[in-house]
Amino acid sequence: MAFAGKVWRLLVGVKDALALVFLLLFFALLFAVLTARPSADSVREGALLLQLDGTVVEEVTPLDPLSLLLSSAAPTREYAARELVEAINAAAEDDRIKLVALDLSTFFGGGQVHLQAIGAALDRVRAADKPVLAYAIAYTDDSLMLAAHADEVWVDPLGGAVIAGPGGERLYYADLLERLRINARVYRVGTYKSAVEPYILNQMSPEARENATALYAALWEEWQDDVRRAAPEANIALVTQDIPAWLAASGGDLARATLAAGLADKAGTRVEWGDRVAEIAGRDDWDETPGTFIHTAFDPWHAEIERKAPSAGMFRTGPRQIGVITIAGTISDGDAGPGQAGAERIVRLLDDALDNDLAALVLRIDSPGGTVTGSEAIRRAVLRHKAQGTPVAVSMANVAASGGYWVATPADRIFAEPSTVTGSIGIFGVIPTFEDALAGWGVTSDGVKTTPLSGQPDLFAGLNEEADALLQASISSGYERFIGLVAASRGISRARADVLAQGRVWDGGTARQLNLIDQFGDLDAALAWAAGEAGIEDEGGWYPVFLGADETPLPPFLRAIMGRQQALAPAGDLFAAVARSHRARLSQALGEIESLLEVNGAQARCLECPPTGAALQPATEWEHAGLWGLVTQLLRG
């Protein structure tokens, strides 16, 4: 009985401790919500402060509160490109906003198409005679692309700017796999389908090099054109051609070299930049912290926009609505997303909309593809809308390649941007087998078979000739189906489709010349075309409805917490930016190894496409304790 009493007291103690923990957590979260002021009521006359602490994506991944609580690292903030453009456009037209303050100290980047759209919105602010002031310690390609659209670009005296340009090196594992005696059995169709090359080669093939050279040259030219138009004084050649000479001319001072190259206008600290903003916006009398100014942050500003104009026609019905379905991230067969293109979820959204009497349908694609089965499921769901006579348009964002192009084939018209990456029309599959590695440890296999395919494919005993032929045949037939869809969609012969395919990746400009897309234009252009096809192009006669938009908003209290994290996150210098880049590259390498060990079916996926969205997000050093760490900091004041 004494033992039972001790156990009982222990259980009661654990219960009381847990109750205390969750009580403290509740009040900490309440404090975060009340102090972060995320509501529309906190909009103030002054500056719109865009402190972009994270990445720009097509579709925000919702946060799981339980995972956030238990995680050892807090997640990197994601900003929807469309929401940022809406916020900046509204700032240009609202008399309460005197300027836009763009803090890029902890900006991790985004896709080139998204950054061009945000830059164009900043230009509209300047056209409304409202200045844009940017600040960062370390500017890299993505942050420079936005800062170029500012009236004043400030760089910290301890920082500077570096232009790397697109491209870089990949890791190749063929020699490692040979040393480990792991057989990477590759099945593919397409001379340029280089996604599998890291598993079978120790360097880039000539075909892959040819394709990558052309693609990155086009993207690099687009980047330079955008920056030159926004900031004609920027000397890009000086910064990229003879870097040692450029630095030596400024005595090795990177901040001075940045000013000399016209990449920044002024050198100053965050406080000095804030004082300059305060000259226009006014000083915040409620906050005596040096460098403060009257401002409205992104979250409350966008909350007011949504309150005045509920999210793009949600909850409205009728024959004048245009449905928009977002296909962002890797395409999978399951229910993943938003932020990932789970085919089961997307198909459900499309089928639910069949009864909504849509006037037209627009597919917004920002995906490198994924599984063949998932891509085909989405395509068939789109065809069910076409069977009802619904016009279908596709709007390509940063990437719409491989499976991303597969789902675009039902479209009546395809819109893209010159910086869009598309094509990669090809299929592959990789299966690792370990018979040689096991044999080295003295492990063999034996058994009884009734047919040549009994027990196949066998990852431990290896694949026999029959299984090998079967798997390659499935990939080959899938490729033939792919080019058949492309031929029918683009009105070309199968032979021509095969020439354009072969897994080759194209930039948007080349894709237009090759008739893989129809015209340049953003999502608004695709919506306008769809309205015209539906016969409802008159002004105010139609409205977009973003299918599944109710799944994506961040809960208000989590928005408040993420806003608090912005204040806690330190800005990084050039070395911190390099470290973030290396961590992202390490994550990519681990992902490549993981994809080898996971057999997920035939893939219509562009692994060689430039990374966007979640792929740009490294874990940062300050994210040391997730939500619980944040709560601790809040309780400490």
- For 107, list phi and psi in degrees, rounded to 5: -85, 125
CA-wise closest residue to 154 among 269, 239, 56, 249: 269
DSSP characters over 284-335:
-TT--STT---EEEHHHHHHHHHHHS-GGGTT--STTEEEEEEEES-EESS-
> Residue 11 pairs with which residues in a beta bridge?
none
Q: What SS3 string covers 597-616?
A: HCCCCCEEECCCCCCCHHHH
The single-letter DSSP state of residue 172 is -
The whole-angstrom separation of Cα 344 and Cα 347 is 5
Tokens 């869809």 found at: 485
**Residues designated catalytic:** 193, 402
Phi, psi of 535 (to 5 degrees): 75, 25
Q: Which two tokens stand for residue 454?
A: 């009994």
At 99, is the secondary structure helix, strand, or coil? strand
Residues 6+ apart with CB under 8 A from 240: 163, 165
Cα–Cα distance between 362 and 365 in angstroms, integer?
A: 9
Pairing status of strand 152-161 against strand 421-423 = unpaired
Beta strands in 402-442 (DSSP E): 413-416, 421-423, 427-433
Q: Quick one: DSSP state of residue 202?
A: S
d(CA 403, CA 423): 9
Residue 402 sits at the vertex; the CA angle it makes with 399 and 405, to the nearest 5 degrees, is: 70
3-state secondary structure of 435: helix
Q: Name every residue whose Cβ is closer than 8 Å to that of residue 377 and which is 6 or more positions away in sequence.
A: 333, 343, 344, 347
Is there a contact between 125 and 88 (Cβ–Cβ < 8 Å)? yes
CA 55/CA 611 separation, integer angstroms: 12
Q: Which residues contact 212 (CB under 8 A, 6 or more apart)?
A: 167, 194, 204, 505, 608
* CA nearest to 328, candidates 553, 57, 602, 608: 57
SS (H, E, C) 231-284: CCCCCHHHHHHCHHHHHHCCCCCHHHHHHHCCCCCEECCHHHHHHHHHHHHCCC
Length of the chain: 637
Rounded CA-CA distance 228/240 in Å is 14
Q: What does the alpha-carbon distance between residue 444 and residue 458 come to, in Å, rounded to a whole number?
A: 12
Cα(169)–Cα(166) distance, integer angstroms: 11
